[in-house]
Amino acid sequence: MSKPPDFNRQTILMQSERGFKSEIIAAIPLTAKEKLFHIRICDPCERENFTFLPGQFIMIELPGCGEIPISISSSTSNKEFLALCIRNVGKVTGMLHRLKAGAIVGIRGPFGTHFPMEKMTGYNVLLMAGGLGIAPLRAPIYWANNHRSDYKDIIILYGAKEPEQILFGYQFEEWRTIYNLNILTIVQKADKRWPGRKGIITDLFGDIHIEPDNTFAIVCGPPVMFKFVCAHLSTLGLPRQRMFVSLERRMHCGMGKCCRCNVGSTFTCLDGPVFDYWTVMNLKEAI
């Protein structure tokens, strides 16, 4: 029997509320507090149709526990699964960390704006991450690799608190050699075994050459980092609309309804989480 026509747009109305049932296919510990979850949408047809752009986020739901926004940190061309890097910090994330492969969760999305990778064609790309901020940057890194010839030099600057807290360190060599990116890391505190640099992320600016007229910057990290990094980049002469930051707020819906992510006159879930720096510096109390 064929389905009756959808007069009241029920399927459209429902989709953003219902979401997709998904299976955790792997939960890989990265550090003491962070795990990388590989999540696959159960229904093959839905999995095929699910598309997202780098920088967007999804809402992941554990029935009976809660629902949280998590940025997608896998390649947009990966149709098999979504990778989510989650820190054990609250109620839902704590419960997620106890789950093993095979558990079923719900996801809704993708929501929000994306890093405008299409605008960056022909430019150098500078990606800067602090701590967990590397998670949402993995999607643009994969994107840049898939379209490597579209971009000129790609530099990643990554700052962490301690060497043990560096995320995806095992991939850096691959990114450097195969992806042809330059990646520099710095940590705030380290003992003698750490061979690299010590300090904060802005210290790395001395090691690289930035062409202000020819560069796009993507910044993701704690709020304090945006302030210093973006201020430094604008003194170098980088136009503010070519710097993109990804904000983090409390969210309950992802659809601009619950107002919890309200920043100034915008909502982080609809107008963000990716904002250009010009917008962000003119929003009240954004960073």
Partner 1 sequence: MENNEVIGPKSRDRDTKGAKIYRFLKLNSFDELEMDYTRSYSSPKNYFLPFKEDLATYDLRDTGWEQEIRYTIHPRIIVGMRACDINALLKLDQVMLKSQYPNPYYSARRRNTVIIGLDHEPLEDCFCRSMNTDTAFHGFDLFMTDIGEKYFVAINSDTGYMILNRFDSCEVGEEDQLLYKEVRGRIESKFKTQVDITIVPELMDLEFESDVWKRWGDKCLSCGSCAMVCPTCYCYGIEEDIDLNFDKATKRRFLYSCNLLDFATVAGGHNFRPEAHIRLKYRYYHQFRGFVEAFNQSLCVGCNRCGKACLAGISPKAVIDDLIGTEKR
Closest separation in Å from C-beta 32 to partner 1? 15
Write down how long the chain is: 287
Q: Least Å distance between CB 164 and partner 1?
A: 18
Between 95 and 200, CB nearer to partner 1: 95
Sheet holding 215-220, edge to edge: 197-198, 182-187, 154-160, 124-130, 215-220, 243-246, 274-276
3 vs 193 by CB, closer to partner 1: 3
Q: Smallest distance, Å, CB 216 to partner 1?
A: 26
Question: Tokens standing for 96?
Answer: 């997620």
Nearer to partner 1, 69 or 140 (CB): 69
Residue in 261, 265, 258 with CA at minimum distance from that of residue 283? 265
Query: Least Å distance between CB 86 and partner 1?
Result: 10
Q: Which is nearer to partner 1, 17 or 191 (CB)?
A: 17
Nearer to partner 1, 36 or 126 (CB): 36
Distance CA 71, CA 135 (A): 7
Calculate the CA 16 to chain-centre distance: 21
* CB nearer to partner 1: pick between 215 and 268: 268
In contact, 131 and 101? CB cutoff 8 Å = no
Among positive and negative, which fits the CA dihedral 157, 172, 131, 198?
negative
Instruction: Give the nearest distance from C-beta 287 to partner 1 in angstroms.
Output: 10
Query: Residue 74 in 3-state DSSP?
Result: coil
DSSP string, 191-236: -TT--SEES-GGGGGGGS---GGGEEEEEES-HHHHHHHHHHHHHT
Of the two residues 235 and 265, which places its CB atom closer to partner 1 in the complex? Answer: 265
The DSSP string of 128-166 is EEEGGGHHHHHHHHHHHHHTGGG-S-EEEEEEESSGGG-
Binding site for partner 1 (CB under 8 A): 10, 12-14, 16-18, 21, 61-68, 89-91, 93, 104, 106, 248-250, 252-253, 255-260, 262, 264-266, 270, 284-285
CB of 260 to partner 1, least distance (A): 7
Q: Supply the minimum distance, in Å, between the C-beta of residue 52 and partner 1.
A: 16
